[in-house]
């Protein structure tokens, strides 16, 4: 599994990062790095929840994140 983290600066100065492959996974931060780190943590939590609730088939895990 590979995911992309997209980030942009909002008008109020905060940074927003999201993982397009996982709807709803987005996070704000004071810096781009902080927002991307929070989005990565949230993405991993979402994937763990899906596996725990049998919403995703177990697969060999090799997760990579790349900033867009």
Q: So where are the chain's domains?
A: 2-67
Q: Give the fold, CATH level 3, of 2-67.
A: Double Stranded RNA Binding Domain (3.30.160)
**CA 24, CA 33: separation in Å to the nearest integer?**
19
Q: Could you read off the pLDDT of 17-61 as tens digits, one per residue?
A: 999 989 999 999 999 999 999 999 999 999 889 888 877 665 555
Question: In this predicted structure, what is the pLDDT of residue 64?
Answer: 66
d(CA 27, CA 25): 7
CA nearest to 35, candidates 64, 62, 65, 63:
65
The confidence score (pLDDT) of residue 6 equals: 93
- Between CA 57 and CA 39 the distance in angstroms is 22
Q: What is the pTM of this model?
A: 0.79
């Amino acid at each position: 599994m590979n995911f992309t983290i997209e980030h942009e600066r909002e008008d109020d100065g905060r940074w927003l990062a999201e993982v397009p492959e996982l709807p709803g996974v987005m996070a704000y931060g004071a810096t781009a790095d902080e927002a991307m780190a929070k989005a990565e943590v949230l993405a991993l939590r979402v994937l763990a929840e899906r596996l725990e609730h049998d919403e995703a088939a177990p697969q060999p895990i090799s997760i990579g994140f790349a900033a867009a």
